[in-house]
Amino acid sequence: MQQLDLLQPQVEKIARQAGQAILELYQSGCYQSEIKADDTPVTSADYAAHQIIMQQLQQLTPEYPVLSEEQADIHLQERQQWQRYWLVDPMDGTQEFVSGTGDFSTMIALIDQGEPVLGLVYAPVSDVCYFAIKGQGAYKRQGMASAQPISCTHYQRAPDLISIAVSRVQKEQKLRRILNPDFNYSLIPLGSASLKSCLVAEGQADCYIRLGPTGEWDIGAPQVILREAGGVLLDLNLQPMSFNRHESLLNPDFIGIGDQSLPWADIIAKIPQNDRIRSRF
């Protein structure tokens, strides 16, 4: 496998090219939007970014397959033959793009033997790039400045207030239903799933809880960034998330955790047992 530290700047360049294409359509308002079969929106900006990333990654590493949200109809029998592959969400936060909040991003991850080993999240509106390489830490770059290391918040004792990054459309009542009322919480609403994970990775939130459908492309890059920053991404049973093991690419509900020493099994102990793991078949 090519050295990851040599791949990273090239992958960042690709993500920035895709992000620029998205940004031009976002600022001009000249894009088309439709609803996919799963009732989620997709726009011409998603497809434009997809085409750029697919073409550039295939040129960069023709030996690695690419699994993109916009081209994910690949049977498990074929995917199981992949030792290494790129996992891509051309635009995470399509609803935020349509709504005009600016909270959307491009995500690219390299999966090796079922584990994310390189991950990158680029937010074109803020021109911020988060990235991480297995064993080399997590970083944030503003514009073209030098990358700065980031890390999750770690406490000497449990905090009085646990900050939770959540989706802007997440129903607070549903979220509160799974949280132990013996703890105090503050909610930080944000759009893109990847940006919420990065918020935890840079110590601006204690966790990110996702209730609702997501795909594996939503967690590939965030998982390695969060892990290299000292955190972890788990399902709500506090078990590791997996990649490319099932015919369905849907994730169970999950939590991105900063300080792993906090009593997370108590914090989310109120979730009903039959809701803990969503079927992936």
Structure-token pair, residue 164: 């939770």
- The percent of residues above 90 in pLDDT, for the chain, comes to 82
Judge whether residue 189 has pLDDT over 50.
yes
Q: Is residue 155 part of a domain?
A: no
120 is in which domain, residue-wise? 4-150
- Give me the mean pLDDT over the 250-263 stretch: 95
Domain identity same for 94 and 173: no
Judge whether residue 36 has pLDDT over 90.
no
User: At 271, is the pLDDT very low, low, confident or very high (cuts 50, 70, 90)?
Assistant: low
Domain identity same for 145 and 170: no
* CATH at 179: 3.40.190.80
| Helices 193-201 & 220-228 angle (0-180, nearest 10) | 10
Judge whether residue 58 has pLDDT over 70.
yes
pLDDT confidence of residue 275 = 46
Domain identity same for 254 and 209: yes
- Give me the mean pLDDT over the 265-279 stretch: 63
Q: Please name the residue ranges forming H helices in the chain.
A: 4-28, 44-60, 76-79, 94-99, 172-178, 193-201, 220-228, 264-267
Domain identity same for 54 and 123: yes
Is residue 51 a contact partner of residue 68, using CB atoms and an 8 Å limit?
Answer: no
Q: What total number of domains does the chain contain? A: 2
pLDDT tens digits, residue range 121-170? 999 999 999 999 999 999 999 999 999 999 999 998 889 999 999 988 77
* CATH at 99: 3.30.540.10
Domain identity same for 169 and 83: no
* Secondary structure (DSSP) of 102-167: ---EEEEEEEETTEEEEEEEEETTTTEEEEEETTS-EEEEETTSPPEEE-----SS--SSEEEEEE
Judge whether residue 176 has pLDDT over 50.
yes
**What phi, psi does 67 have (nearest 5°)?**
-110, 110
pLDDT tens digits, residue range 212-237? 889 999 999 999 999 999 999 999 98
Which of 116, 150, 184 terminates a domain? The answer is: 150
Domain identity same for 113 and 135: yes
Nearest CA to 280 among 240, 253, 256, 255? 253
- Give me the mean pLDDT over the 187-214 stretch: 92
Which of 97, 125, 150 terminates a domain? The answer is: 150
pLDDT confidence of residue 272 = 53
Q: Is residue 94 part of a domain?
A: yes
Q: Is residue 156 part of a domain?
A: no
pLDDT tens digits, residue range 112-122? 999 999 999 99
Average model confidence (pLDDT) across the chain = 92
Is residue 132 a contact partner of residue 138, using CB atoms and an 8 Å limit?
Answer: yes
Domain identity same for 174 and 259: yes
Domain identity same for 17 and 142: yes
Judge whether residue 274 has pLDDT over 50.
no
Instruction: Tell me which of 249 and 168 has the higher pLDDT.
Output: 249
pLDDT confidence of residue 106 = 98
Is residue 164 a contact partner of residue 183, using CB atoms and an 8 Å limit?
Answer: no
Domain identity same for 144 and 8: yes
Which of 87, 119, 150 terminates a domain? The answer is: 150
pLDDT confidence of residue 281 = 30
- Give me the mean pLDDT over the 45-69 stretch: 97
Query: Which pTM value belongs to this model?
Result: 0.93
Judge whether residue 273 has pLDDT over 70.
no
